[in-house]
Amino acid sequence: MTNEQTMMLQLNNVEVIYAHVILVLKGVSLDVPEGAIVALLGANGAGKSTTLKAVSNLLRAERGEVTKGSIEYQGERVDKLTCNDLVKKGVIQVMEGRHCFEHLSVEENLLTGAYTRKASNREISNQLEKTYHYFPRLLDIRRTAAGYISGGEQQMVALGRALMANPKMILLDEPSMGLAPQLVEEIFGIVKELNQKEKVSFLLAEQNTTVALKVANFGYILE
């Protein structure tokens, strides 16, 4: 990292407490430069998911809160904003476990990603076409209910749905979980392509250190 690099995201000495008593994170500081892929590594339970939720402000839904430190996105303090505010600013979280709408088709799931955008039908149609370009497998199953597709395909739907929101930054939580090695390679290849071609910055929480560091510019380890 050089001093000239613009920082997309900065966490400074962040502490997170759940239910007013359970200390989950303490003293977490990290930087994500604009246009970079940064890996957040550590064992299960180290606090990787909590760190991502602190950024996206999904903590409140789980009775968690940032009690110390600061979180800045593009130079603006954001730890008091709502999830909706952050999505509108281009910060999208892809949750661990995919969280697809199982009763909706693949294409309907993708279109939910554009729900917050003030975009014309043509712009959304163009974005959908671009999403199918990165995830050609989804085009073949676009009419299938998401509950009937494989775990790897659901992960692609979750990533594609994030892409439909026209993100500047994606918080990606454990994308390799439960997937075969070949699918993991494919998904991480798409992450690298989105970073290089669409200029999307990534903060990537992952237990699989080897595959994460293949695509990341650098990484942080949570203990």
Confidence at residue 4, expressed as pLDDT on a 0 to 100 scale: 60
pLDDT per position as a tens digit, 28-79: 999 999 999 999 998 888 899 999 999 999 998 888 999 999 999 999 999 8
pLDDT per position as a tens digit, 78-130: 988 888 889 989 999 998 877 899 999 999 999 999 887 788 889 999 999 99
Confidence at residue 124, expressed as pLDDT on a 0 to 100 scale: 93
Q: Hey, is 161 helix, strand or coil? A: helix
Query: How large is the average pLDDT for residues 128-152?
Result: 95
Extended strands (E) in 45-88: 64-73, 76-77
The full DSSP string for 175-199 is TTTT--HHHHHHHHHHHHHHHHHH-
Give this prediction's pTM: 0.92
Confidence at residue 36, expressed as pLDDT on a 0 to 100 scale: 97
